């Protein structure tokens, strides 16, 4: 054994995240608490993951039951909870079969593999490539990073997995470039989440779908952020009048337990046979109990209808703020996946919200991303809007181009209370 003392780094955790200076220790419904007992309204939902809020009751009960029964068994044995969940998912979508894994990136990896295998099975020997779009986000593994259409994410990780080509979203001319004889699939988000909350154009996506159908190119939609009720339907594609061949899901599917899923139409799904793909943990009984309870809650408790109502109210109020304050350039999104394009970097806005007890996110440097739990109350939504109006008034009312004096004015105001 070596006696040399290691140079201890500042942290034992690898430095892969720019973390906010907050330690969350408890969550219930729309709220989280930090280690000092301070309460926050969580309008990040763990990045579109805790869609039913924190520790939702029905899911909690089902997981507790499963915790006493069976946590894990290999996919070499039948897992009835997978059957039940896949039944609910396929009954409520245009798909026939489901593959379960553990994360969003893994779901996209599965889709990428399936697209290649499908082409190979059809005898399309030249069709090995996948088209994705600029500003997309599909994950951090080798292939999903290559699928992601953002240079900053590729930086330093060459050579990238080959076979991905990036085209601009919503560009009608770019549609002509999709079929170059080598494309087996397109993969895209209907609302780019990480890339700035950019919705696909309704007319453009229908043209893309028609083109894919005609050329036997698979249309694969990454619903990892948009799915599980986030946009007001179980999956967002339902609101774009298209029928994809494949979608991927993860994030909110099990209310915060790690899960991923790929859903596909039968003609495509049958390209996977024993030995094609697999996962040790994917779809294990503990996670499936959480996922089944999550989807049942969403489908049985009128949550989707509520999301559409809340979203309409919120968009109306954000529209009023945009009209009243020049700091807001544009409000985008669908359902409760909302992007607010600001005139400057949003870092300061995120901190200002946090100081008022609300957690929000960014999507790129100038876009505030708001992801309330689908179960958020009218009072919470009102508090969010009221707080946003107050912050905008403080900023635009006190100083137009410097943020610091505004923060001081906020502190003064708080000390008066
Ligand atoms: C979060 C996300 C992913 C990656 O999911 P992980 O579970 O972090 O691997 C992929 N695509 C989209 C659209 C996402 O939002």
pLDDT tens digit sequence for 3-61:
556 666 679 999 999 999 999 999 999 999 999 999 999 999 999 999 999 999 999 99
CB-based burial, 308-328: b 16+ in 10 Å, e otherwise: bebbeebbebbeebbeebebb
End residue of a domain, out of 300, 318, 335 = 300
To the nearest 10°, the Cα dihedral for 110, 114, 117, 118?
180
Number of domains in the chain: 2
Ligand 1 centroid to Cα of residue 126, in Å, is 29
Q: Is the CB of 369 under 6 A from ligand 1?
A: no
How many Cβ atoms from other residues are within 10 Å of residue 47's Cβ? Answer: 14
Closest CA to 88 of 189, 228, 223: 228
Q: Is the CB of 225 under 6 A from ligand 1?
A: yes
Tell me how far CA of residue 20 lies from CA of 31, 34, 351, 362, 365, in angstroms. 17, 12, 9, 12, 15
| Range(s) of the domain holding residue 396 | 24-55+302-416
Q: Helix 404-416 crosses helix 378-398 at what angle (to 10 degrees)?
A: 120
Q: Is the CB of 105 under 6 A from ligand 1?
A: yes
pTM assigned to the model: 0.94
Query: What is the phi/psi pair of residue 172, to 5°?
Result: -65, -35
> What's the confidence (pLDDT) of residue 397?
80
> What's the confidence (pLDDT) of residue 407?
46
| 106 and 74 within one domain | yes
Ligand 1 centroid to Cα of residue 331, in Å, is 23
Q: Is residue 10 part of a domain?
A: no
- Please, which pLDDT band fits residue 398 given cuts at 50, 70 and 90? low
How many Cβ atoms from other residues are within 10 Å of residue 23's Cβ? Answer: 10
Ligand 1 centroid to Cα of residue 1, in Å, is 42
Could you identify the residue written with the tokens 């069709």?
127
CA gap 261, 50 in Å, rounded: 17
> Tokens representing 301?
């408790």
Q: Is there a contact between 333 and 363 (Cβ–Cβ < 8 Å)? A: no
**CATH of residue 330:** 3.90.1150.10
Q: Is the CB of 366 under 6 A from ligand 1?
A: no
| 255 and 203 within one domain | yes
Ligand 1: which of 148, 250, 259 to mutate, judged by most atoms within 8 Å of the beta carbon? Answer: 250
| 250 and 171 within one domain | yes
Q: Is residue 17 part of a domain?
A: no
Judged against a pLDDT cut of 60, whether residue 63 lies above it is answered with yes
Q: Is there a contact between 63 and 292 (Cβ–Cβ < 8 Å)? A: no
Q: Is residue 19 part of a domain?
A: no
Ligand 1 centroid to Cα of residue 104, in Å, is 4
> What's the confidence (pLDDT) of residue 10?
76
| 70 and 168 within one domain | yes
């Amino acid at each position: 054994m070596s006696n040399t003392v290691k140079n201890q780094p500042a942290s034992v955790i690898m430095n892969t995240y720019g973390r906010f200076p907050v330690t969350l220790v408890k969550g219930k419904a729309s709220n989280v608490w930090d280690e000092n007992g301070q309460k926050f309204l969580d309008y990040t939902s763990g990045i579109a993951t805790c869609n039913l809020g924190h520790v939702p009751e029905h899911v909690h009960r089902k997981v507790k039951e499963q915790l006493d029964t069976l946590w894990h068994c290999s996919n070499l044995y039948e897992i009835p909870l997978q059957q039940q969940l896949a039944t609910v998912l396929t009954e409520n979508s245009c798909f026939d079969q489901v593959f379960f894994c553990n994360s969003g990136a893994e779901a996209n990896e599965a889709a990428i593999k399936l697209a290649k295998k499908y082409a190979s099975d059809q005898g399309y020997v030249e069709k090995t490539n996948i088209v994705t779009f600029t500003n997309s986000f599909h994950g951090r593994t080798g292939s999903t990073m290559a699928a992601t259409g953002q240079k900053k994410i590729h930086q330093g990780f060459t050579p990238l997995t080959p076979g991905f080509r990036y085209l601009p979203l919503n560009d009608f001319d770019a549609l002509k470039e999709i079929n170059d004889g080598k494309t087996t699939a397109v993969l895209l988000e209907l609302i780019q989440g990480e890339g700035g909350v950019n919705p696909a154009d309704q007319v453009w996506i229908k043209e893309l779908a028609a083109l894919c159908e005609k050329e036997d190119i698979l249309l694969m939609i990454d619903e990892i952020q948009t799915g599980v009720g986030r946009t007001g339907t179980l999956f967002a594609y339902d609101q774009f009048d298209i029928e994809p061949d494949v979608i991927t899901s993860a994030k909110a599917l099990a209310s915060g337990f790690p899960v991923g899923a790929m859903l596909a139409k039968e003609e495509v799904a049958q390209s996977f046979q024993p030995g094609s793909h697999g996962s040790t943990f994917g779809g294990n009984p503990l996670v499936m109990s959480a996922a089944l309870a999550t989807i049942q809650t969403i489908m049985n408790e009128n949550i989707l209808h509520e999301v559409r109502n809340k979203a309409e109210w919120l968009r109306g109020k954000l529209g009023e703020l945009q009209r009243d304050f020049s700091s807001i350039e544009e409000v985008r999104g669908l359902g409760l996946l909302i992007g607010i394009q600001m005139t400057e970097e949003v870092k300061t806005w995120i901190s200002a919200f946090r100081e008022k007890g609300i957690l929000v996110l960014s999507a790129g440097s100038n876009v505030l991303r708001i992801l309330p739990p689908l179960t958020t109350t009218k009072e919470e939504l009102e508090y969010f809007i009221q707080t946003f109006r107050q912050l905008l008034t403080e900023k635009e009312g006190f100083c137009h181009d410097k943020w610091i004096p505004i923060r001081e004015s906020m502190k003064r105001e708080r000390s008066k209370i």
